[in-house]
Structures are given as structure tokens and as C-alpha cells.
Amino acid sequence: MEDDKGLAQGLEDALTHQRYAVDLAWDGLMGWELAEALTYDLILLDLLLPKLDGINFCKRLRNQGDLTPVLLMTAQNSSSQKVEGLDAGADDYLVKPFEVSELLARIRALLRRGSSTSSPVLEWGSLRLDPKNCQVTYCDKLLKLTAKEYELLELFLRHPHRIFSQSALLDHLWSFDDPPSESAVRTQIKGLRQKLKQSGAVRDLIETVYGLGYRLKSAAPPNDTLSPPQSTPAIANSPTTFNLSTIWKKHRESYLTRIAILEQATKALKTGLLDSSLQQQALEQAHTLAGSLGSFGFSKASQYCREIEQMLNGDTQLSSERIVQLSALLLDINSELSVPDSAVIPSIPLQPTVDVEELSESLTTRLLIVDDDLALAEGIATVANTRKIHTKIAISPQQARTLIAENSLDIVLLDLSFPDSTEAGFELLEELNSHSTSLPVVVFTAKESFADRVKVARLGGRGFLQKPISPSQVLDALTRVLSPSSPTRAKILIVDNEPEILDRIRSVLEPWGFHLILLDNPQQFWQILEQSTPELLILDFAMPDLSGVELCQVVRHDPRWQDLSIIILSEERNRQIVEQVWNAGADDYIQKPLVEPELIARVLNCLERSQLRRKITSD
């Protein structure tokens, strides 16, 4: 429980990377409701909380006989406060600011101390998991699970009402230094379901919530009961952590220099002497800061810089009120950047340090980062090395061309904006797309423009990442591009008479590695269908001359294509349209405007069902 959301989320990141299951509460009453509803192995509690402070929270907890270990956190380093906290029932006390490594050590010590007080057995109807001996039974029949299947089932049982996305399951079940693609989650879910079914389960105990993730099936039989959920136990011998503050401290002055240019432009605005050159410099610095600060944990400062960029991106004459607002934003930025690094910048678990040359020889994936923000590039490179990705950095497109010519690369992470030319990033992307080696490029930019997304897709980009974004998320995206899961190698035929919609779908699906065939003339549909032999069709409902429903009917009338998966898109959703779609034999229906996560989830779902049908047929 922590009311400082920046600190709380930073701690959540650090703890989840250590494979703890974490719930957050922003005030004492919210935390109390969670503590009453769930059983935890440990409570991390701030002393000064709104609505119910840490001292009274502890007293209330102990008065009810709850012996859950409590670790108090506070910025007040006085003996009287420590004594009061410990007398209230806290088990340990940590003074802010603190090192993440010390926090983790204290948590491990408290969990060891209190491990004997918790009830270990988890039950869901006839399913029983005993963490003491790592055994899982269904109707008293022992299940032989892999380590990952066991961890997956334990996580669901400890949080029976929570929906876990694929990325959340990756965060909980795989160590940071060895992250697989999201296909690994689907593989583990499939294996676990099969073993539960083989043991006698009459229904799927793990439910897919399409577009969101997975959870335990809520409609349990009458005899299905669940023991109080508990958080995931600590993992022994946790890896060491790397704090991005190392990179931040190295480059902090360069960011302060960028802010100084914004302050200089603000002073010029006040006197009416802001020229176009200084305005352009200030715009460039605000743009870079908006994309970078958030990646180092300074989310508010990142947002303030984006607001400044919008204010400066216009006339050099601002009203006095807007100038006052601009000055206030700069004060807020400096205020957030003055916060101790440990309270903002998240820690990332790493493998023990090794010799750089020895490490480089063992790395198999080679990444080029093209970004003039050297600090951010170094932060990504440091995390990339923990994932066995060898990284080179270019701070300009010209330098990137040299490195590409001299090195064998697997993928490029490319910013679109450089001080000398806003088109430089697009030009390099176009060059790389025409390169004989077809080097995949993922765009990484602070620009917010759908037109840019479309342009990137047209130029052959394999992904579009919006700054600010954490280094971990960047590398997750790169991993998906380099190692797409088997369903995403599928061939998809998309028919829509609007080129803008085709480009939109392409920009969403292409980074996942699908082979896309785009068709804006439905009259050519049958010819293209037979030539391409796709595994999935995406058809627009309303097109001139031929509708998506009519195309769907044509496909279903041919025995060769009766099992082909079909999704229909429509701007409207009413009973008549839905009936037409299902009566024509479509597998799914998506309403426009398209929502990226929903489109991806439904496409993957259709492809997986199609693969399963083919497997059953072949068997």
C-alpha cells in the first residue's frame, strides 16, 4: 500500500520481475478491503496513507488475529516512529529512500520467517494443489505437470477471479533474462488443459476471455470451492537487479541541458523575442524529452513535455496566460526530476555481470538502435544484453548506414525524428525495406500520428512503438517480430474497398509476422483466393457490387473452402447484420472502428481454432 503511484508502480515492476504476485492499493481503506478479501504472504505498507494510516492499519490487522507479516515503509527516520510502528504490530521497518536490493532481502527474510503460518493447500472443486510437496491432484489422481504448467496453475488458483493477459503471464512465470514469445503462454495453457482433461475433468477449468486473457472458469459446479487465495511465494536465489538510474545519472546533465533550452525559449516568449530558430530547438527538445523521460520512470514530466511541445508547435506569440502555464509546467518538470532516483526509476533483474567481449561472443541476435537520444538507447542496450541480444547504437541515420554496411544485423529499432531532418527516419526505413537482406525495422518514436503509422506500414515497417515505453516492452516487441508464434506465420487475405482500412489492418497485423494479401477490388476475389490459398479471410461487410456476406456465402458453397476461417468487419452492429453474418457462415464479427488488441486477439483465436480443426480432421 503506497499513495505515491510512481513509487508504487516502480516497486510493483521490481517485485513482479522477481516473480511475486502483487496487488496495489493507493490508500489504507482500499488496502484493508483487499486484505479482508484475500490472504497475503506479506503486506508492504506505507506509514502515511490517506483514509487509514499504516499504524492504525497494523493495529486493526493484529486485533483481528491476522498474523500476516507487515513491512512498514516511511520517509521519517525517527526512533519514536519506528517504535510506534513495531508496537502496532509491524514485523520490520524500512526508511525511504532505500535500495531495491535491501527491500527484496527484507521481504525474503520475512517470508521465510512467516512461511509456516499460511495454509498451503489450494482447491478448486476436485482439483487440489499442495505447494508443500508440489503435487497436483484431480479426484485424487496425481497429475504429472511440467514446472511451468505447475506455476501457471498455482497462479490461477491463488487469484481465481483475475484475468491474466499473455504478457502478464510472461511477467509472472518467466525470468526477465529468458523471456519467450507469447506463443509459449498458449502452449502451456494448451498442455495444462489437456492434462486436466486426461485426468477426468469434464470441462475446461481454464477459461479464455477473448481479447483479454485467461482465468479460472467462474461457473464452478456446486461442490467447487476455493481456499483463500495467497500471493506467489518468493523464489530463492533471485537474480541481481540493474537500476536504470545508472544510465539516468550518466546522462542526467544532458536532459537538464534540453530543459534549459525550453526555459530559454520561455524567457524569450515573455519578452516577445522568440525567433523561429530557438522555437524549433525548443520543439525538438520537448519532443525528445516527452519520449524519453517516461521510459526512465518520470511519467508526469513526460506528459508535461508533451504539453509544452503542443504549445510551442504554432505561433511564436502566446497569450500571457499560456506563458504562465508554460512556466508552471517547467517548474513541475524540474520538481519531478529532483525526486530521488530510487523512488521513480524501476529496477530490472539481471544476470551476474560478465566480461563484455565474452558476452558478445555468446549473443545470437544483433540489434541496431538508431536514436539520437543516447541515454535511452543505452538503457535499452543494457537490458538487451541480459536477453542475449548484442546491440549497436547509431545517433544519426548517416551513422546507421555505416554500421549496417559493416555489420551483420538481425533487426533495427529506428526513431523517426532527428534534429537535422524530420524525414530522415522515413528515408532510412525506405532504404532498409528495399535492402536485399530484407532487414526488419521496428519504428520507435514519440510522434503521435495515425498518418505516420500508415506511412510506416507502407514503407515496410514491422512494428510501431510509441514513446514513452519501457526498455522491457521494447524488447518484448522486438522478440515477437524476430520469433513470431506459429499462428502468426499464417496467410491472411483481406478484402476491403477502402485503402485506408487495408493500411490500418496492415499496420496492426504485419508486425506479428502474418503474410498479408490486401485486395481492394472484390471482383478479383475468387482469382486471388485460389492463387493465395489463405488460412483466414477478413471481409468488409459493405462493399460496392459484392458484400462481405456474399463473398462468405460463395466461399462456404465450395467444399474446398468450407473450413476456411472468416471474419467480417462492419461499421454497424444491429440484429439484422449480425444474423446475416452468422447465417452466411462467418466465424467472427468485428465492429469498426478497429481496436488493435481486439483485432489481434480475434485473428489469433480464429487461426488457433482453424489449426485445431485441421488437427482433429487429420487424426
CATH number of the domain at 491-617, please?
A: 3.40.50.2300
Four-residue CA torsion sign, 9, 13, 18, 21: positive
Q: Does residue 418 register a pLDDT over 90? A: no
Architecture of domain 5-114: 3-Layer(aba) Sandwich (3.40)
Secondary structure of 202-245 in HEC code, one letter for each residue: CCCCEEEECCCEEEECCCCCCCCCECCCCCCCCCCCCCEEEECH
- What tens digit of pLDDT does each residue of 445-473 get? 887 677 788 788 878 888 888 888 888 88
Confidence band for 427, pLDDT divided at 50, 70 and 90? confident
Which amino acid is present at 330? L
Regarding the domain delimited by 126-216, which CATH topology (the fold level of the hierarchy) does it fall under? Answer: Arc Repressor Mutant, subunit A (1.10.10)
User: Which pLDDT value is given to residue 613?
Assistant: 67
User: Which pLDDT value is given to residue 540?
Assistant: 93
Cα 459 to Cα 511, 584, 594: the distances in Å are: 13, 36, 21
Quote the CA–CA distance of 259 and 252 in Å, as a whole number. Answer: 11
Q: Does residue 581 register a pLDDT over 50? A: yes
Direct distance between the N- and C-terminal alpha carbons of the chain, in angstroms, rounded to an integer: 53
Regarding the domain delimited by 252-337, which CATH topology (the fold level of the hierarchy) does it fall under? Answer: Four Helix Bundle (Hemerythrin (Met), subunit A) (1.20.120)
User: Which pLDDT value is given to residue 210?
Assistant: 57
Q: Does residue 566 register a pLDDT over 90? A: yes
Q: Does residue 413 register a pLDDT over 90? A: yes
User: Which pLDDT value is given to residue 360?
Assistant: 37
Q: Does residue 368 register a pLDDT over 90? A: yes
The number of residues in the chain equals 619
Mean pLDDT of 137-164: 83
Mean pLDDT of 562-583: 87
Q: Which of 360-374, 448-462, 511-525, 593-607 has the lowest mean pLDDT?
A: 360-374
CB count within 10 Å of CB 316 equals: 15
Q: Does residue 414 register a pLDDT over 90? A: yes
Closest among 215, 309, 199, 213 to 265, alpha carbons compared: 309
For residue 232, with 0-12 CB atoms within 10 Å meaning exposed, 13-18 middle and 19 or more buried, which class applies?
buried
Q: Would you say 94 and 105 are in contact if contact means Cβ atoms under 8 Å apart?
A: no
Confidence band for 186, pLDDT divided at 50, 70 and 90? confident
**Domain boundaries along the sequence of the chain:** 5-114, 126-216, 252-337, 366-482, 491-617
User: Which pLDDT value is given to residue 231?
Assistant: 33
Which of the 8 DSSP states describes residue 264? H
66 backbone dihedrals φ, ψ, rounded to 5°: -80, 120
User: Which pLDDT value is given to residue 361?
Assistant: 38
- What tens digit of pLDDT does each residue of 80-93 get? 777 787 888 888 88
- What tens digit of pLDDT does each residue of 14-63 get? 787 776 777 788 788 888 877 876 778 889 988 888 888 888 998 888 88
Confidence band for 212, pLDDT divided at 50, 70 and 90? low
Q: Does residue 364 register a pLDDT over 70? A: no
Which CATH entry fits the domain spanning 366-482: 3.40.1390.30, 3.40.190.10, 3.40.50.2300, 3.40.50.10490?
3.40.50.2300
Average pLDDT of the residues of the chain: 77
User: Which pLDDT value is given to residue 244?
Assistant: 62
Same fold: 5-114 with 126-216: no
- What tens digit of pLDDT does each residue of 545-565 get? 889 999 999 998 888 888 899
Mean pLDDT of 432-441: 71
Residue 296 cell numbers, joined: 526512465
Residue 416 cell numbers, joined: 523517426
Mean pLDDT of 572-581: 84
Which amino acid is present at 3? D
Helix (H) or strand (E) holding 74: strand 70-74
Q: Does residue 568 register a pLDDT over 90? A: yes
Give the gyration radius of the chain's Cα atoms: 27
Secondary structure of 364-420 in HEC code, one letter for each residue: CEEEEEECCCHHHHHHHHHHHHHCCEEEEEECCHHHHHHHHHHCCCCEEEECCCECC
Confidence band for 616, pLDDT divided at 50, 70 and 90? low
